[in-house]
Amino acid sequence: MGNRNSRNSRNSRNSTDKIKKKPSINKFNNKLHTEPTTSNEEEKPLKYYLPNDNDDIDRQHMHHFVRRYLFQGYFSAPIVVGEGFKILDVGCGAGTWLLDLANEHQNSIFCGVDISPIFPVEIKPGNLTFIRADLLSGLPFPDNTFDFVHMQTMAYILTPDQWHYAISELIRVTKPEGYMELTEAYDGYGHGPLYTKLSQAHHNSCLQRGVDLNFPKQLDNVLRSLRTITNVNTDKKIVVSGPSGGRVGTIFADLFIQFSSADLTIESLCPHLNMSKDECKKFILKDVKKELYQPKTAEYCVVRYWAQKISNN
């Protein structure tokens, strides 16, 4: 399964061979998202620096609830989650979005896929399954499996080529006339100088890995260029950072500060800020935070892109 342009080194193997089964426990003390391995070798750290320790999981939970509040719903696509409806979340992380939805729709079927096993294995609703798999090796599902396929917050992870491949996989596993949706966030306007400096360091550090944080801005054009989907729509919310953006603005500012000041993020950022780790941490926790709490420092755009797979006729 998976379509043809998946990661070359993994193409030749069957997807079930590729994923070494891990014990059924959460590895909450991991410091890095890790790749599944094919043998008994130690897990290799991925090339991006999002931590997945308890703090990161807490951030994912908070991010989910603030996004749900912002959009007043779990998704923007015009779907009705009925009996037997099948929903997939790719790069599901701790599984917060799915856990919330699966509890609300007990007659529907939910599945989460993540390369890193930070999702719950035992304490979860019976209609929800998690699978450890690498999206970039092809999703481990046949074509046309799900009514709705969702992916969010992959901006720091995927290179432009990987975005194209990931989208083709999401569409492949969506049923004809089913929907897919992507949610991402990017910088808006009105940046203060310190925030701009930090944001630029994030961009430069990502570019070193081939990841372009501006890419999500063009996802609507990417989707519109595809013949396999139609009805491409955008649902965009602007969040003013800090207390002048209300409770949502304060939460977004705090999440950004927490993520930026996590140890692994600091390691990637400090060469781009020309600072030591301690200086970098102080700069983020004190100076940038203070600036973000001032009015008109920063805005974030949080965008949902959704589209419908064409019918077979």
In the complex, the residues that contact ligand SAM under the rule CB under 6 A are 33, 50, 60, 63-64, 91-93, 96, 113-116, 134-136, 152-154, 157
The smaller minimum CB distance to ligand SAM, of residues 96 and 297, is found at: 96
| Separation CA 187–CA 206 (nearest Å) | 14
Q: Which residue is nearest to ligand SAM (CB)?
A: 93
How many C-beta atoms surround the C-beta of residue 153 within 10 A? 19
What distance in Å separates the CA atoms of residue 220 and residue 289, rounded to the nearest whole number? 32
Residue 96 vs 174, nearer CB to ligand SAM:
96
3-class DSSP state of 192:
coil
Smallest distance, Å, CB 117 to ligand SAM? 9
Residue closer to ligand SAM, measured from CB, 97 or 283: 97
Question: In terms of CB distance, is 136 or 266 closer to ligand SAM?
Answer: 136
Q: How far is the CB of 93 from ligand SAM (least distance, A)?
A: 3
CB of 3 to ligand SAM, least distance (A): 15
CB-count burial class (<10 Å; 0-12, 13-18, 19+) for 246: exposed
**Least distance in Å: CB of 291 to ligand SAM?**
24
The span from the CA of 311 to the CA of 231, in Å, is 12
Compute CA 194 distance to the chain's CA centroid, rounded to the nearest angstrom.
26
18 or 63: whose CB is closer to ligand SAM? 63
Closest CA to 101 of 174, 34, 152: 152
Min separation Cβ 230 and ligand SAM, Å: 25
